[in-house]
Amino acid sequence: MHSETDPGTTRPVAGLSEDEAAAEARRIITDAYRPTAYRDDTPVPTHGTTPPVAQPGRPPMSQGATDASVLMLAGGTATAMIGGTAAVLMYVSQFADPVVCGLVFGAPTALVLALGRLAKKAKPAPDVHHHYEGHVYQDRRNVHSRTTGVWAKTNNQH
């Protein structure tokens, strides 16, 4: 560091020795190039004006489509494993009957599909929750409509 009053000398500023000034300069440079980190813990808003951005991986889709795609991937993997096992068994044994292998390896698949349909039908109805502000009138009557005739007369009965 040079003094402001005498630019040609190497006399340190503010009464520091040359070693102290060099150490201070190293500290300032080290502090300037030290990586910094900051974590913003403020909660992210659940909605806003910014449109959503597609993330890498699976494309954005509804929850039902996501569930169906996972089910299809799992079914495809299971089918490939069962078929591969049957093919290896027929090749290794050299006398296995393809019809018998089809029945043996196809029966668990049919059983899983039947149990899946049964479980889907046995699912309870979802709870419906409504949230209102202010005065609300709910009409919970059922209306049975019947349309008959060539000119389509409709009778609504409460």
What is the predicted pLDDT for the residue at 6?
A: 47
CB under 8 Å to 55, separation ≥6 — which residues?
none
Tens-digit pLDDT profile for residues 108-125: 777 878 888 877 777 777
Tens-digit pLDDT profile for residues 19-35: 999 999 999 888 888 77
Strand segments, DSSP code E, in the chain are 144-148, 153-157
**Is the pLDDT score of 13 beyond 60?**
no
Once rounded to an integer, what is the mean pLDDT over residues 132-158? Answer: 75
CA distance 2 to 8: 8
**Is the pLDDT score of 48 beyond 70?**
yes
Q: Two tokens at 107? A: 């029966």
Query: Domain coordinates of the chain in residue numbers?
Result: 1-39, 66-120
Other CB atoms within 10 Å distance of the CB of residue 54? 8
What is the predicted pLDDT for the residue at 23?
A: 92
- Taking all residues of the chain, what is their mean pLDDT, rounded to a whole number? 77
What is the predicted pLDDT for the residue at 44?
A: 76
